[in-house]
Each structure stands twice: as structure tokens, then as C-alpha cells.
């Protein structure tokens, strides 16, 4: 309901037309929307790497990857419940806890990714099962992992630990926070009207460092060369002495570590998680991977950032309820013009 013309509100908000004020919002908050879009997109991109790595090497979509991320968010939450200050604080006071949480999330997600590989994929890959079978196997693993987290109270009950672990397992399906710890952002400097905060910077810088590290690893190390070899031609790679099972394991592990990093950064910004948190984020990350060109590491970064920013612009321009629709319309438009994604190059063809 825009205020009627001539009311005192007009002085404060001269543009009261609905459409006008939406465009107005975009212009006035351009920097805020961009920075926050990049911070959101960086998380998408880190998760997207897991999809793109596995696709690049195995030509299949690991639908259990969203749960790999979800377990990472819980690792961060549990570390904060265990050793966090339990009150409102600033980033400077929790650097130590955050580093522990960051490492714990990467370990947790890496382990879960290895478990997924071991249980849902290895035998199927060895027996050359059709990719449709592996897809269902991955979806099964995804639901099982999500339910295990949703039933963690019951599971700890089986071992008689429910009372001891109640801080960690009670109300298992509900929103789970960081044990009362809230990390509030501190303003570092301003661009336009927007206050750039330490959390924005940490999320963006950490995400980009992780991605640069991964890119370096895949391009310059012996393991990376092995990955690219298996991606290009698994049989020739095997003849040349590459242990493809180890390479597949490594691929899942790397994807998991990236998802763990994403999970910790997500928790730093949002602060709560739940057993189905991976669903929407996983879908968005998968979109980002396809948008950038699935199988292409730099494509995942680009896709993630574009998606995050586009969602925010779209929300400002056509209304927040269209946020998800904007993301997918954009995906379709990009795929119409470039069917293989923006960068469209697969991992195997990447030059060292």
C-alpha cells in the first residue's frame, strides 16, 4: 500500500509508485546487493565445486553432495556449542574457535564424501553400472544422510547417550544454532551507503583462496594430473599406471573439503542450520555448476558468483518472492545461448 499522495511520507520517499520504488531500491542499494550477492555466491561456488569435480571425473551428478555440505554446517555448529563463547561477540574474539570449526567442517564433510563414495558409488563404478543406477544410489544416500541427522536424538538414545549429548541432539529436526554464540559483523569501510563488514570480507576472501588452492592442486600437482587423466580417458590412464579408484576417492574428498569450507562460511553468515539445509543450497550450487559449465572448476566459481548477485538484483527488481525463479530463468537463458554453460569446458580438456 503506497501512501496516498500529499501525506508527509512523500517528503521522505518521493518515489511512491510501486514499480518506481523497486528500481529505486536497486540503484540505492546497488553496492549492498552486489557485495552480499558475492558473499552468497561464494558459498554456492564452493559447493558447486563438489558437483563439478565429480562430474568432471565420473560423468555423473553426486546428488548426495548437498548432505556433505549439511554435515559440515553441523560440525561448525557443534564446535561453537562445545567451545564457543555462547554470547553475542565479534569476529576478533572467536578467530581461534572459527579456525577449529573451519578445519572440523572440512574434515567432517571430507569424511562424509568418502563414505558416500565408498557406500553409494564404489561397487557400482567397479561393475560399470549405468549412470541412472548411480543417480538413484546417490539420491538414496542423500535421503539416508539427511534422515540420520534428523533422527540424531533417537540414534544417541540407542547408545544411551541422549542425556549426555542433549545440547547436540535434542530437537533434531528444528533449527539448530551455535549454542547462543552470535558473531556480529563489524564495519570496516563504506562503499556508497553500504557498510562492508569483516564477515563479508572473510567469507569472500576465504572462498576465493580455497578455490585458487584447488585450481592450483588440479593443474600443478601429480594427483591433479591423475585426475585430469582419468577425466579424459579412464582406460588409458589406468594403462599408464594411474590408480583410478584412488583418484575417484581423492575427487570426492576434495569436493567434500570445499563443501566443508562452504559450510563453515555459511554458518558464519547465517548462524543456524537444520537437517534439510542442503536441499535448496545444493540445488542452487548445482545450478551454479551447470551455469558456469559443469566439469569446469573456474566455471563453478563464475556460475556461483553470477547466481548469487543475480538473485539479489532480481529480488530488488521484481520482488523477493521471485528470488528463486530469477535464478532458474537465468539458468535457462544462459543454457539457450550457451548449452554447455558459460565457460563450457570440461575438466579433462583443461590445459595444465
Partner 1 sequence: MSRITKSGRWFAAVAVAAALSLTACGSSDDTAGDDSTGGGCHPATLGFMAALTGDSAALGQDALNGVNTAVGQFNDANPDCKVTIKTFDSQGDPDQATKLASQIVGDTSIIGLIGPAFSGESLATGPAFNEAGLPSISQSATNVTITQQGWTYWHRVIANDGAQAPAAAKYITGDGGATKVFVVDDGSDYGKGLADGVRDALGSADVGDDTITTGQTDFSATVQKIMSSGADGVYYGGYYQECGLLLKQLRQAGYKGVFGSGDGSHNAAVITAAGANAAEGAFFTDAGAPPTDDFTALFEKYNNGEEPGSYSAEAYDATKVFLDGIAAGVTTREAMQDFITDYDEQGVTKEIKFDDTGEVATQTIYVYKVENGSFTTGQPIE
C-alpha cell at 285: 550450487
Exposure class string for 16-51: b at 16+ Cβ within 10 A, else e: beeeeeeebebeebbebbbbbbbbbbbbbbbbbbbb
Does residue 152 touch partner 1 according to CB under 8 A? no
Q: What is the C-alpha separation between 238 and 234, in angstroms, rounded?
A: 6
Applying CB under 8 A, the span of 24-32, 91-99, 105-113, 220-228 interacting with partner 1 comes to: 24-32
Task: Choose among 88, 308, 81: nearest CA to 200.
Answer: 308
Does residue 185 touch partner 1 according to CB under 8 A? yes
Task: Choose among 315, 316, 294, 314: nearest CA to 303.
Answer: 294
Query: β-pairing, 187-191 with 182-184?
Result: unpaired
Nearer to partner 1, 140 or 150 (CB): 150
Does residue 92 touch partner 1 according to CB under 8 A? no
Applying CB under 8 A, the span of 27-35, 154-162, 225-233, 247-255 interacting with partner 1 comes to: 27-35
Applying CB under 8 A, the span of 29-37, 206-214, 237-245, 335-343 interacting with partner 1 comes to: 29-37
Q: What is the C-alpha separation between 135 and 8, in angstroms, rounded?
A: 60
Choice from 125, 177, 198, 298 touching partner 1 (CB under 8 A): 177
Could you tell me if 287 and 327 are in contact, meaning their C-beta atoms sit under 8 angstroms apart? yes
User: Which is it for the CA torsion 125, 130, 134, 135, positive or negative?
Assistant: positive
User: 296 to 325, contacts with partner 1 by CB under 8 A?
Assistant: 311-312, 315-316, 319-321, 323-324
Does residue 170 touch partner 1 according to CB under 8 A? no
Does residue 175 touch partner 1 according to CB under 8 A? yes
Nearer to partner 1, 37 or 50 (CB): 37
Count Cα neighbours of 262 within 13 Å in the Cβ-side half-sphere: 34
Residues in contact with partner 1 by the rule CB under 8 A: 1, 3-4, 7, 9, 12-13, 21, 24-25, 28-29, 32-33, 36-37, 40, 87-88, 150, 171, 173-175, 177, 180, 182, 184-185, 193, 195, 269-272, 274, 276-277, 279-280, 311-312, 315-316, 319-321, 323-324
Amino acid at each position: 500500500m503506497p501512501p496516498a499522495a500529499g501525506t508527509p511520507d512523500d517528503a521522505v520517499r518521493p518515489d511512491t509508485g510501486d514499480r518506481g520504488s523497486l528500481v529505486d531500491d536497486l540503484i540505492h542499494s546497488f553496492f549492498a546487493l552486489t557485495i552480499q550477492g558475492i558473499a552468497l555466491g561464494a558459498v554456492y561456488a564452493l559447493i558447486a565445486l563438489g558437483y563439478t569435480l565429480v562430474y568432471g571425473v565420473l560423468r555423473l551428478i553426486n546428488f548426495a553432495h548437498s548432505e556433505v555440505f549439511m554435515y559440515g554446517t553441523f560440525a561448525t555448529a557443534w564446535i561453537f556449542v562445545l567451545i564457543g563463547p555462547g554470547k553475542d561477540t565479534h569476529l576478533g574474539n572467536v578467530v581461534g574457535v572459527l579456525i577449529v570449526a573451519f578445519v572440523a567442517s572440512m574434515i567432517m564433510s571430507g569424511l562424509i564424501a568418502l563414505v558416500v563414495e565408498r557406500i553409494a558409488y564404489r561397487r557400482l563404478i567397479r561393475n560399470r553400472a549405468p549412470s541412472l543406477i548411480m543417480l538413484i544410489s546417490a539420491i538414496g544416500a542423500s535421503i539416508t544422510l539427511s534422515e540420520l541427522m534428523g533422527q540424531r536424538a533417537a540414534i544417541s538414545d540407542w547408545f544411551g547417550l541422549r542425556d549426555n549429548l542433549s545440547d547436540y541432539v535434542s530437537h533434531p529436526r528444528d533449527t539448530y544454532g551455535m549454542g547462543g554464540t552470535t558473531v556480529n559483523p563489524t564495519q570496516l569501510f563504506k562503499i556508497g551507503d553500504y557498510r562492508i563488514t569483516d564477515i563479508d570480507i572473510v567469507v569472500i576472501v576465504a572462498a576465493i583462496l580455497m578455490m585458487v588452492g584447488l585450481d592450483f592442486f588440479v593443474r600443478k600437482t601429480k594427483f591433479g594430473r591423475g585426475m585430469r587423466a582419468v577425466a579424459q580417458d579412464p582406460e588409458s590412464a589406468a594403462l599408464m599406471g594411474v590408480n583410478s579408484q584412488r583418484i575417484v576417492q581423492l575427487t570426492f574428498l576434495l569436493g567434500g573439503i570445499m563443501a566443508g569450507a562452504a559450510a563453515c562460511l555459511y554458518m558464519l553468515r547465517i548462524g543456524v542450520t537444520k537437517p534439510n539445509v542442503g536441499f535448496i543450497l545444493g540445488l542452487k550450487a548445482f545450478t551454479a555448476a551447470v551455469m558456469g559449465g559443469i566439469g569446469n572448476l573456474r566455471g563453478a566459481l563464475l556460475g556461483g558468483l553470477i547466481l548469487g548477485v543475480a538473485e539479489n538484483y532480481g529480488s530488488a527488481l521484481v520482488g523477493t518472492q521471485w528470488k528463486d525463479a530469477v535464478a532458474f530463468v537465468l539458468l535457462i537463458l544462459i543454457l539457450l545461448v550457451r548449452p554447455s554453460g558459460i565457460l563450457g569446458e570440461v575438466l579433462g580438456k583443461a590445459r595444465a
